Structure 1
Amino acid sequence: MTHSRTVELEGHIIDSGMLQQAMGLVMDLEGNFDIEQFDVGTHKEAESYCRMDVMADDEATLQEILHELHQIGANLTDPVDAELVAAPADQVVPTGFYSTTNHPTQVRYEGQWVDVENMEMDCAIVVEDGDSPRAYTKVLNAIEEGDLVVTDEAGIRVDPPERPRDNSGPFGFMQGGVSSERPSESLIRQVADALEQTKEDGGNVLVVAGPAVIHAGAGDDLARLVREGYIDMLSAGNGFATHDIERGLYGTSLGMDMETMEHPRKGHKHHIYTISEVIRAGGISEAVDEGLIKSGVMYECIQNDVSYVLAGSIRDDGPLPETITDAVEAQNAIREQAHEADMVLMLSTLLHSVAVGNCLPSTTKVVCVDINPATVTQLLDRGSSQAIGMVTDIGTFVPSLADKVLDDA
């Protein structure tokens, strides 16, 4: 017996590769398809439409195919209300719950499509009844007993954003993917334009920074961007903050003199001395208030009310008092920042970049810069398909970006 359902794809499904990808998925998963309708857009602004009957030998295979198609934006033509099942206990989701993508999503509830709030990947969707029903994502550890959780793919509509078809607009360059070949100055100019446009539109810019920003000598220029109001939030780790403050106290980063590139005597102890002094003061803010910290990125964050999250790791020395050592608490703090961000600059930090990327909806513009190509490709492979990656030296990128942005100001 053959089992079948009909799906539809619409938008720029030909030049984006969506149609080809959908056909490949069906065949790879041992299914078949018939094209019932195919309307091709005949000019640059026109969208295309395809209605496809998908078939499989058994219901389980069909559901697997529909799940994969759903992830790339193929939706059922005969939508029904989403199936809601109450969570049986705290942190326990119903079997077969719908695991989200990071794309804009709607659920069908009582015959109406409801936008899902706070989109991010690998979450459950909870629906609240009422005069104005709500749907929103929840991570599994936040699920409460009785939450109405969406299960299966029925009654769910996903809309993957498409990259611009040309270089028009401030984010036109975002169609680039990963590049170490293109002229860096040209791309940095476009990143600067995008950053300026985001601020002009009243948007929020989040910087995700690793210690390499300080080691490479780019800390002063990142501090300039914070001071001049181009950075609204900072997400980093204990190491970044420690070496930034160490630079101000001792002129070193990880024990190396930033001017002479030499290792002074006892320089290897400067980071732990730094942590000790900040703990003695009661925290970073208190150390700024008493004049211990007089410069650097963290100094500018305190002075300019830029919110920051320092997420700890098992490797941290100290750590600094503000470092969040509880992994779930740190993740929730990062999630709050991510949901407020309109543009994200990820600067030389693999683990933080992937962590923040996992919390971002696919509509948020992301620029990831690292000298290691693996950092950039891993971010994209994890699902942050909206990101543009630049494989270049962070010590060159940040000063150049700051010069371009601040020269335009």
Structure 2
Amino acid sequence: MSFQMPTYQAPDFSKPAFTGAPCAKSAPAPRDGVAPENYHATSIYPEYFKLGGTWMLAGESRMDCVAVLEPGGGIATKEFRNLRGGDEVILGRTEDGSEGIYVHYDGFSKAGASDGSFAFRTGRSRETAFSKDYDSLYELLKYEREHGFIAWVLGPACSFDADARAAMSGLIENGFANVVMAGNALATHDLEAALLRTALGQDVYTQQPMPNGHYNHIDVINKVRGCGSIPRFIETYGVKDGIVNSCVRNEVPLVLAGSIRDDGPLPEVIGNVYDAQDRMRSYIRQATTVICLATQLHTIATGNMTPSFRVIDGQVRPVFLYCVDISEFVTNKLRDRGSLAVTSIVTNVQDFLVHLWRGTAK
């Protein structure tokens, strides 16, 4: 089985509904951070705007942002907090072309898709067979390693097991990661495992609690802070394995977003939530495949900023978004928040990583 990129089917703008539609209206933002009344909120899907009589595709999108006309004639997608007074914001609450705005929901629809008739087990749950998803993901990652940009969003559970750590490290070492995004906990417990073979004080192989093990993660944070940076800690203490070490050695960016519950935190953790969002967004703008593992809040945050498509060299291609969690609540929550293009896999992430590593190594 080899990966086949889905073909994008653009709207037929020669249809009367489009040729007879008015041009999109706009109005200036009244001040920084505030959109004008009746602003158009963007989605994860390709969006077209009729400007000067021509339907134009916004080059990128993001859920719950606004479309802004750029001085050079393009269309930018901006978060409300990044609006500047005077920005020309597109107006309109319809998406069918009648106000010069068209949201294209089915550009990547597959032939033979469901006709809507009743069928059992059409959802994604712990009873779903995911074998086909694994096979597809193996081939997708091999394709993306050569042609795309793979972003990982990792929860701390990825560092609690020796085999999972080794599998994720192997994926990074072999070019299957272009950026890793996480929080303080993932990096802390991965470095704890590298130095002390524990995560939250439990042996990462046997899962046995170690004497006074509850000190281990904060001892590691303290040592890293004493060194001044994660790379300096790795060098000083001779760290040889783990997810963070693989990122540092292979120059894969590691974006650590802070949380109100963080202890320490590690020096590289970004404490300002909007700075962290901007850093994550800078990589999501490049991403063609996003894989989120066992982290509800980081997954939802990433899903909110991930579009369903990317325009590369003038061609529209899909962005593949995966959510992997042992909790159906988490996978369903992401869909409920609007990330309808997500592929959900309900499983233990340690097993997922080991299977993925073995599958991509074939």
Amino acid at match of 2:326: I
Distance in 1 (CA, whole Å) between partners of 2:232 and 2:110 is 46
Distance in 2 (CA, whole Å) between partners of 1:107 and 1:177 is 34
Counterpart of 1:68?
A: none
Amino acid at match of 2:154: A
- 2:340 matched to 1:398? no
Counterpart of 1:158?
A: 103
Relative to structure 1, the CA distance from residue 204 to residue 335 in structure 2 (aligned partners, 3 Å threshold; closer, same or farther) is same
1:104 to 43, 46, 49: 46
Relative to structure 1, the CA distance from residue 251 to residue 106 in structure 2 (aligned partners, 3 Å threshold; closer, same or farther) is same
Larger radius of gyration: 1
Superposition pairs of residues 167-246 of structure 1, within 5 angstroms: 178-200=124-146, 202-217=147-162, 218-246=164-192
Mark the runs of 5 or more structure 2 residues left unpaired by the alignment: 1-8, 94-98, 114-121, 310-318
- Percent identity at matched positions? 33
Amino acid at match of 1:142: N
Amino acid at match of 1:178: R
Structure 1 residue 162, shift from structure 2 partner = 3.6
- 2:63 matched to 1:121? yes
Counterpart of 1:138?
A: 78
- 2:220 matched to 1:274? yes
Deviations 1:270-310 (A, max 9, x none): 11011111111111122223344322101000110111211
Structure 1 residue 77, shift from structure 2 partner = 6.5
Counterpart of 2:292?
A: 346
TM normalised by structure 2 equals 0.85
2:322 to 360, 367, 379: 367
Structure 1 residue 343, shift from structure 2 partner = 0.6
Deviations 1:46-92 (A, max 9, x none): 9999xxxxxxxxxxxxxxxxxxxxxxxxx766321211111111111
SS class of match (2:61) = coil
Counterpart of 1:27?
A: none
Contact 1:120 1:360 in 2 (8 A): yes
Distance in 2 (CA, whole Å) between partners of 1:47 and 1:259 is 51
1:324 to 240, 264, 270: 270
Relative to structure 1, the CA distance from residue 332 to residue 187 in structure 2 (aligned partners, 3 Å threshold; closer, same or farther) is same
Distance in 2 (CA, whole Å) between partners of 1:283 and 1:196 is 32
Counterpart of 1:14?
A: none
Contact 1:189 1:401 in 2 (8 A): no
Superposition pairs of residues 78-97 of structure 1, within 5 angstroms: 78-97=20-39
Distance in 2 (CA, whole Å) between partners of 1:76 and 1:331 is 36
Distance in 1 (CA, whole Å) between partners of 2:300 and 2:64 is 13
Deviates more, 1:322-331 or 1:106-115: 106-115
Structure 1 residue 369, shift from structure 2 partner = 0.8
Structure 1 residue 320, shift from structure 2 partner = 0.6
Question: How many residues of Structure 1 are paired with residues of Structure 2 in the alignment?
Answer: 329
Amino acid at match of 1:389: S
Deviations 1:184-238 (A, max 9, x none): 44432221112112223x1011111100111244111101100111111111111
Distance in 2 (CA, whole Å) between partners of 1:207 and 1:376 is 16
Distance in 1 (CA, whole Å) between partners of 2:295 and 2:202 is 20
Mark the runs of 5 or more structure 1 residues left unpaired by the alignment: 1-45, 50-74, 168-175
Distance in 1 (CA, whole Å) between partners of 2:11 and 2:195 is 60
Amino acid at match of 1:372: S
Counterpart of 2:88?
A: 148
Contact 2:151 2:291 in 1 (8 A): yes
Deviations 1:351-381 (A, max 9, x none): 1111001111112111111100011111111
Distance in 2 (CA, whole Å) between partners of 1:117 and 1:277 is 45
Distance in 2 (CA, whole Å) between partners of 1:220 and 1:226 is 10
Structure 1 residue 107, shift from structure 2 partner = 1.5
Contact 1:177 1:389 in 2 (8 A): no
Counterpart of 1:52?
A: none
TM normalised by structure 1 equals 0.76
Distance in 1 (CA, whole Å) between partners of 2:195 and 2:332 is 36
Deviations 1:377-409 (A, max 9, x none): 111111111111111111111001101101x2x
Counterpart of 1:376?
A: 331
Counterpart of 2:258?
A: 312
Distance in 2 (CA, whole Å) between partners of 1:284 and 1:185 is 37
Q: Which has the higher contact order (CA 8 A, sep 6+)?
A: 2
Amino acid at match of 1:315: R
Contact 1:209 1:348 in 2 (8 A): yes
Counterpart of 2:116?
A: none
Deviations 1:235-254 (A, max 9, x none): 11111110111100110011
Contact 2:11 2:104 in 1 (8 A): no
Distance in 2 (CA, whole Å) between partners of 1:354 and 1:291 is 35
